[in-house]
Amino acid sequence: LVVVLSPLPRLRGLLQRCWGRLERGLLSGLFGSQSPPLGPALAVQAPVCLPQQVNDTGESSEAPSLLDSILWMAAPKKRRTIEVNRCRRRNPRNLIKVKTNIDVCPECGNLKQKHVLCGYCYAKVKAETRLIRMEIGKKEGGPLNAPPVETVVLYDGEKPTEKDEGKRIIERARKRPSWFVQD
Amino acid sequence: AGSACVRGLLGWARPERWLPSSTVSPLSCIHTSSSLPTVGKWEKKNRIVYPPQLPGEPRRPAEIYHCRREIKYSKDKMWYLAKLIKGMSIDQALAQLEFSDKKGAKVIKEVLLEAQEMAVRNHNVEFKSNLHIAQSLTGRGRYMKRIRYHGKGMYGIMKIVRCHYFVKLVEGPPPPPEPQKTGYDQAKEYVQQLRSRTLINTL
C-alpha cells in the first residue's frame, strides 16, 4: 500500500481517514491469535498480543525465550520535559567550541588552519597540475604509455639545460608561476 | 471551497520560485523568490527611520537586519551555530564558520557576507570590519510531512524540516564579555538580600 501525501490539505485529511478506517477494519477482524497486526512502527516495545498467551506458550520448559526478553526491553518511563531537554542540549559539552587554530596564510592572505594547507593556494596548485597532466596526456596519447624517464616542465621562453638531458620535456604556454621554482 | 482550494494550490505551488532569479528575457521582469507575498517582520526592521540626532547626542551606531528564509536545515542544529557567533566581530565569526564542518555554517557565512555588503552599500557603514553580531537567531520554517517506509509494511511519518536564520549587525567593536558570575558573587548577593529584609507593619 503506497499512500502519497498530496499538498492539498483536504485530500491529505481524507487519505488519513481512509487509512484509519482500513487499520480499524484489519484490527477488528482477523488477528486474534496470529502474529501481531501490521500497523505504524511508531512504538514497538512489547508485543500487541496479551501477556497470558506468553505465559501459556513459554512457561514450563525452556529458559527465557525471545518473547520473555522482549518484556524486559528498556523504555522511557516518563516524557522528558522541555526544561530537562534544554539543560541537555545547551550545556557547554554540546555547544560548538571556538577554534583558536585559525591563522592567515602568508602567501595569499586567506584564512587557514595552522596544521592544514591553505585552501586557496592548494586549489591554485591543483589547477595548474591538472593542466600539466592534460599536456602529459596529449603527449603520451593513451594509457600505460609513460616513458621510464623523468619529466621536466618548461614555461614560456625557457630552454632545457644540460641537467635536463635524458628527461621528457612538457611545454606549458604561459609565464612561470612564482610559486613553481625552477631548479 | 473551490476558491479556497485554488488559493491553497497557489500557496503551495508558487510559480515564481521555479525560475531562477536572473531570468534572461528583458521584456518580462518576472518577480522571483525575492518578492514574497508577505514581507517578514525582520525585513521590515531595516526600514525604520530615526529622527535626526541633536548635536550633543552620541552617534547612534548603524544597525543592519538580514535574514534568510526556508533553509533546508534543522532549527535546533542551526541554533548551535547561531550561539557560536553571538557577540563576535564579523571577521571572527566568518573565520569560525569557514572551518566549521556543519552544513549550516556555509549558509550563515553567505548571509553574513550579504549583510556586510548591504551595510557598506546601503547603511552608510564606513569600515566593513567594524561590525559585530548583536543578535543571531533561528526560527522554524514550514515543515512538510512525508511517509517513511519501514520493513513489513510498517510506516512512519517523517517531517522535512526547514529553518530561518536572522542576524543583526551593529557597527562598532564587539562589546566586552561580561565577567562570569562566581560562587562568591552569588553568595554575597544572597547575604545582601537577606540583610535588606525589613519587618512590615511594625515600628
Grid coordinates in use for A70?
A: 522482549
Pairing of strands A168-171, A151-154: parallel
Interface check for A43 against chain B (CB to CB < 8 A): the answer is: no
CA distance B5 to chain A (A): 8
CB contact under 8 A, B156 and A41: yes
Tell me which CATH code domain B61-171 carries: 3.90.470.10
Q: What does pTM read for this prediction? A: 0.69
Share of chain A above pLDDT 90, in %: 56
Which residues, other chains included, contact A172 with Cβ-Cβ below 8 Å and sequence gap of 6+? Answer: A131, A132, A135, A153, A154, A155, A156
Chain B residues whose beta carbon lies within 8 Å of the beta carbon of residue A102: 95-96, 98-99
Length reported for chain B:
203
Which site among B10, B76, B154, B160 would you substitute to test the A interface, given the most A Cβ atoms closer than 10 Å to its Cβ? B154
**Which 3 state secondary structure label does DSSP give B179?**
coil
Here the ipTM equals: 0.71
pLDDT value at A98 more than 70: yes
* pLDDT tier at A71, thresholds 50, 70, 90: confident
Question: In this structure, what are the phi and psi dihedrals at residue B31, rounded to the nearest 5 degrees?
Answer: -70, 120
Question: In this structure, what are the phi and psi dihedrals at residue A169, rounded to the nearest 5 degrees?
Answer: -110, 130
Three-point CA angle B50, B52, B57, nearest 5°: 105
User: What's residue B1's pLDDT?
Assistant: 46
Interface check for B15 against chain A (CB to CB < 8 A): the answer is: no
Kindly list the domain boundaries of chain B, sorted by start residue.
Answer: 61-171
CB contact under 8 A, B5 and A8: yes
* pLDDT tier at A174, thresholds 50, 70, 90: very high
Q: Name the one residue in this structure whose C-alpha cell is 567550541.
A: A97
Which site among A2, A98, A114 would you substitute to test the B interface, given the most B Cβ atoms closer than 10 Å to its Cβ? A98
Handedness of CA B118, B119, B121, B127 (dihedral sign): negative
Structural contact between residues B169 and B133, judged by C-beta atoms closer than 8 angstroms: yes
Q: Which residues of B, range 72-131, sit inside 8 Å of A by Cβ?
A: 76, 80-81, 83-84, 95-96, 98-100, 102
Chain A residues whose beta carbon lies within 8 Å of the beta carbon of residue B100: 96
Assign 3-state DSSP to chain B and report helix, strand, coil percentages, each to 5.
35, 20, 45
According to DSSP, the residues that pair with B152 across neighbouring strands are none
Q: A178: number of CA atoms within 13 Å, CB side?
A: 3
Residues of chain B with pLDDT below 70 are 1-36
According to DSSP, the residues that pair with B63 across neighbouring strands are B170
* Per-residue model confidence as pLDDT tens digits over B16-60: 455 444 445 555 555 555 556 799 999 999 999 999 999 999 999
Which residues, other chains included, contact B168 with Cβ-Cβ below 8 Å and sequence gap of 6+? Answer: B45, B63, B64, B65, B66, B133, B134, B135, B136
Q: Which residues of A, range 91-110, sit inside 8 Å of B by Cβ?
A: 94-96, 98-99, 102
Structural contact between residues B68 and B111, judged by C-beta atoms closer than 8 angstroms: yes
**Which 3 state secondary structure label does DSSP give B99?**
coil
According to DSSP, the residues that pair with B67 across neighbouring strands are B166
Q: Which of B8, B76, B98 sits opposite A8 (nearest CB)?
A: B8
Interface check for B12 against chain A (CB to CB < 8 A): the answer is: yes
Question: What is the arithmetic mean of pLDDT over A129-155?
Answer: 94
CB contact under 8 A, B80 and A3: no
Q: How many CB atoms lie within 10 A of CB A113?
A: 15
CA distance A49 to chain B (A): 17
CB contact under 8 A, A8 and B95: no
Q: A23: number of CA atoms within 13 Å, CB side?
A: 13
Which residues, other chains included, contact B117 with Cβ-Cβ below 8 Å and sequence gap of 6+? Answer: none
Helix H or strand E segment including B157: strand B155-160
**Which 3 state secondary structure label does DSSP give B177?**
coil
Distances (CA, A) of B158 to A11, A42, A118, B73, B155: 18, 11, 41, 14, 9
User: What's residue B4's pLDDT?
Assistant: 46
CB contact under 8 A, B147 and A3: yes
Grid coordinates in use for A34?
A: 496470529
Chain B residues whose beta carbon lies within 8 Å of the beta carbon of residue A9: 8
Question: In this structure, what are the phi and psi dihedrals at residue B132, rounded to the nearest 5 degrees?
Answer: -135, 165
CB contact under 8 A, B150 and A41: yes
Distances (CA, A) of A73 to A46, A57, A58, B151, B157: 8, 20, 18, 21, 24
* Per-residue model confidence as pLDDT tens digits over A11-59: 666 767 766 777 776 666 554 445 555 555 565 555 555 555 555 554 5
Helix H or strand E segment including A76: none
